[in-house]
Amino acid sequence: MHLRNLGAPALQFCLLATMLVSGNTAGGQEQPRAAAPTDAFAGLQFRNIGPAAMGGRIDDLAVLESNPAIFYVGTATGGLWKTMNNGTTWEVLFDDLDDAVSIGDIAIAPNDANTVWVGTGENNNRQSGSWGNGVYKSVDGGQTFRHMGLRDSRHIARIVLDPVDHDVVYVASLGSLWGPGKERGVYKSTDGGLTWAQILFVNDDTGATELVQDPANNKVLYAATYQRRRAQWGFSGGGPGSAIHKSSDAGRTWTRLTTGIPEGPLGRIGMDIYRKNSNVIYARIEHPTESGTYRSDDAGLTWRKMSSVNPRPMYFSQVRIDPTNDLRIYVLGVQIHISDDGGKTFIENGALHSDHHAMWINPANSNHIIDGTDGGVGVSYDRGKNWEGIYNMDLGQYYHVGYDMDSPYNLCGGLQDNYTWCGPSAVRSRNGIVNDDWYQIQGGDGFEAVIDPNDSDTIYAESQDGNVVRVNRRTNERQTIRPLPDRGEPNLRWNWNTPIHISPHSSSTIYVGANKVFKSTDRGQSWQAISGELTQSLDRESLSLMGQTAKDFKVAKNDGVQSYGNLVQLVESPKQAGVLYAGADDGSVNMTRDGGKTWANLDSRFRNLPKGAYVSGLVASVHDANTVYVAFDNHMSDDYDNHLYASADGGNNFRSISEGLPKGQVVMTVAEDPKNAAVLYAGTEFGLFVSTDRGGSWNRVRSGLPTVPIHEIVFHPRENDMILATHGRSLWILDDSTPIRQAGEAMRTDAFLFDFGRPAMQFNPANDRGFVTDKPFRGKNPTFGAPISYYLKDVAPTASVSLRIRDAAGDIVRELRANDLQNQTNAGINRVYWDLRYQPLVAQGGTPAGGGGGGGGFGGGGNNGPFVLPGDFGVTLVVGGKDIATKSLRVVGDRLAQMTDADRTTWHNTALSLHRLQEQANDAAAAVTQLGEQFQSLESVMKTAANAPGEAKTAIEAAGKQLTELRRRLGVTVPGQAGTGGGGGGAANQNVRGAIGQTKGQLMNAHSLPSDQQQRALTQGRDDLAQVIIEVNSLIATMPSLFDKLGAGGVKPAALKPLRPVGSL
């Protein structure tokens, strides 16, 4: 676990050949998880660009009651987060686990703030919900965690820590959402999690969804059990196993509570106990006809229905009692339902983002509420009248991402319950990409957002169930273009996540998939069905779950699944127009070679594939018309194996290529490298994997990426960037992914220099957002300059590696050596950045290296070199004195700077002249510093000389005055004295070195022809420096004779080398 700086995350990127393993489940404690080893790819870096403007789905909150500024947030698929300052900044925990991204519950020990328990696996029963691997414990405030077992529980609903005996822990396990299992119900440990006993078990289909402890008697527990099962095609949210149970002996025995509770199948139940009077309990009880809010005033012996308010309990089912008033309760749903009369009547509060899953009310101040929604965390200080949204957590659950061809390019994508947003991949501001850089183009749950490659203002977007629109980004107007069935035909069946595809052969041709494929050649103005039914066309009413057919489901029937048997993947071959592949949610895969006139079903060609597996990825190769890749996700049938296939003969035969993937990852998407046909990428529920041998073996992309579901992988064709749509941590980019696609070639050598995947552009980053505090989210920009990537088979001494950069004339403009290559001479791939400038000057004392002092912010102009003149450059990797390889790099000027080539040359030459003058001025300053040291020695000799000649004293005093004047004119400080400023106003104008640096800095700050004043400053600086150097050389020549005048020839220092005249470099 580590501290994460949201403003500038320290990211790395690597492939792991060795995976972490874990051992025991319910039987006992596991060993601490070791840090994952790095390997050949550790030098590359992904960057997180956000956005955080919309937050993401929150499952649970745990607040330290003694200091409510400290709290933990558990997310649906974004891991565990902690704040120490009420959400101003965050520490991200659990980023480095192999197989857990989803948090079900968090508990802080009542008497020990450092002891924190976490249960993994979301408990909200959604079709998009992830699963976990048991419970974890921390004894250091979340800095490290130890796995404590219950690995097969899949979904942890509640953890209760006994307030009296710290070793007593209760866990409510829901168990698998997708299948039966024994590891569900209520568990208890009496030894701090070393061992567990199952103290409440109903059956293999029923788990525990709620567990509360009497605040006045730690032996009394109430548990709500929940019988439910989900499949790809539907949901059954209740049964005879659902109930409320009470124990009065710390879980040894249980009684099912029935008085006042409706008879028949129950669904999900949520409960809360009043702190001041534990006889008062509220419950949200789901029932086919009597669903509602219930209250007990006698510790659960009897119940009465207060109202029918119980919004979508399958997904929400949380109720909270004001800790100071048992008549004020909060029922969470799409909105917050608030009652002040014990649940008889409610008002709705919709000020915060919709879909509320977690709430904490401050027991010391019930005006203070923290709430978790599908849109992140909100805080209220007036009992929910007004809310502050905390939008600095990158928790976006992206389904898809699209890009345009602007520069820098923009990204658009749809998110779970958070609309469809567009924003930049980079900005010119040094502050990074902020929430205000993003904007909405579509509402609802967002999915596809496909941008016309020839018109970046035209975007095809979809919200749930096939609501396809064409967006005009200039006006933000949306035209509905969803196809309709012909008259007399049955309604079309649309998936929650409807596929949209722009033909790679004509951007005006688009395809969408319902239960059949539609084609438009006029950007959605009109449609033609080009297929018949392409699914199994199953009657889901005849399918069964938990021994019951769907037609007989009574509770939460098929919640979240509007229809079944619809397309979810649709692509056209980039190599051959009219060759299309379509994949369905029921596992059907079909293809056409004639633009839809005839279709062939491919289902029987996938060996050992379980029937009905959801088609999660489909790629028609950009390299070969006969190559296609298909991924299947079968976890919705309780199958967590990997199913990934490839065909090299146009779909006639498929072979499995998932053998090298770690078990249990579950492939969510697949991608092919656009430049190297041998390189494939798989996005799984827990991360990113790469194969460099067409799927023969796989390695995990670890460093820099958190453990998170990857739902789409795309490559920008111009920039060669890899872009990841994560379902829980927003968007991530690997700038210039060339080293991955060339890794196979590199690793057969001792040293290798990778190609440059794109030109490098010069520009001056903007300081355009002042007074930025710590709270706002800031996505990371690309590191400025040209990324230079190289491979070393073995760790090399830093001094033995260098990079030499030459211009088209063969002149060296820059060498990157030891100080530039720190931590980048490791075994594997390393990456450094050239800032596209000439060699910087060696910093000298006196004038600040980076500006400041009295020079108006340009003191010395910094020692950075000016930008090189755009053109072609050769970059050479040197190892051990041997030139390994030279690769060509194109440097381009700022695309936004309006400069002719002639003007740019003038600007460049002027800056370079000032840079060379500054170098000579620095040399003069260094000489004056050495003269000062000699003069100190001279003064010491004079003080000890008994009869120093008057002539000598006079000469030495004159030399001292000359030295003082030179120090002033070169901005050289005397040790222990204040500096002379950087060349700004007042007397500091006489600082020749500072004035040169200031002029250079001003000129370099803008792509513009030098002003007349700057030209005059260049001339003045040249003339002034020429005179200063004459005077420095005079003092250099005089100094030895001064020692001779004192008769101190024995201590006379060696004469300094005279400086070169101005213009002689």
- What span, in angstroms and rounded, lies between the C-alpha atoms of 131 and 638? 11
Tokens of 974: 């005397």
Asked, for residue 565, whether it belongs to a domain, the answer is no
- Cα 949 → chain centroid: 75
pTM higher than the cut 0.95:
no
Q: What is the DSSP letter of 226?
A: E
Domain end, chosen from 350, 374, 390, is at 390
Domain end, chosen from 390, 410, 428, is at 390
Residue 324: CB atoms within 10 A of its CB come to 15
Number of domains in the chain: 2
pLDDT tens digits, 717-773: 999 999 999 999 999 999 999 999 999 999 999 999 999 999 999 999 998 888 889
Asked, for residue 710, whether it belongs to a domain, the answer is no
Half-sphere exposure in the Cβ direction for 789 (13 Å, CA): 25
pLDDT tens digits, 641-668: 999 999 999 999 999 999 999 999 999 9
Q: One-letter amino acid identity for 748?
A: R
Burial of 1026 (0-12, 13-18, 19+ CB in 10 A): middle
The three state secondary structure string of 1003-1053 is HHCCCCCCCHHHHHHHHHHHHHHHHHHHHHHHHHHHHHHHHHHCCCHHHCC
Q: One-letter amino acid identity for 579?
A: V
Give the CA distances from residue 602 to residues 581, 605, 624, 642, 678, in Å, rounded to whole numbers and listed in that order. 10, 6, 19, 19, 24
Catalogue the long-range contacts made by 603-610 (C-beta closer than 8 Å, 24 or more residues apart): 605/647, 605/651, 605/652, 605/653, 605/654, 606/630, 606/632, 606/643, 606/645, 606/654, 607/654, 607/655, 607/656, 608/656, 609/643, 609/645, 610/634, 610/637, 610/639, 610/643
Q: Phi-psi bin for 75: left (phi > 0), alpha (psi -120 to 50), beta?
A: beta
Q: What is the DSSP letter of 482?
A: -
- Regions of the chain where pLDDT drops below 70: 1-39, 845-861, 946, 976-989, 1049-1050, 1064-1065
Residue 242: CB atoms within 10 A of its CB come to 24
Amino acid 327: pLDDT: 99
Amino acid 883: pLDDT: 98
Closest to 368 in 3D by CA, of 356, 386, 355, 350: 386
- What span, in angstroms and rounded, lies between the C-alpha atoms of 195 and 237? 31
Burial of 440 (0-12, 13-18, 19+ CB in 10 A): middle
Residues of the domain holding 78: 15-390
Asked, for residue 940, whether it belongs to a domain, the answer is yes
- What span, in angstroms and rounded, lies between the C-alpha atoms of 942 and 898? 62
Asked, for residue 909, whether it belongs to a domain, the answer is yes
Asked, for residue 112, whether it belongs to a domain, the answer is yes
Amino acid 701: pLDDT: 86
CATH number at residue 363: 2.130.10.10
Give the CA distances from residue 97 to residues 21, 85, 120, 668, 1042, in Å, rounded to whole numbers and listed in that order. 10, 25, 11, 18, 72
CA dihedral 784, 790, 792, 795 (to 10 degrees): -10
Give the CA distances from residue 1033 to residues 1025, 1030, 1044, in Å, rounded to whole numbers and listed in that order. 12, 5, 18
Sheet-wide strand order for 410-414: 402-403, 410-414, 420-424, 439-442
Amino acid 977: pLDDT: 62
Asked, for residue 292, whether it belongs to a domain, the answer is yes
Amino acid 1053: pLDDT: 84
Asked, for residue 696, whether it belongs to a domain, the answer is no
Domain end, chosen from 371, 390, 409, is at 390
Amino acid 1049: pLDDT: 64
Asked, for residue 796, whether it belongs to a domain, the answer is no
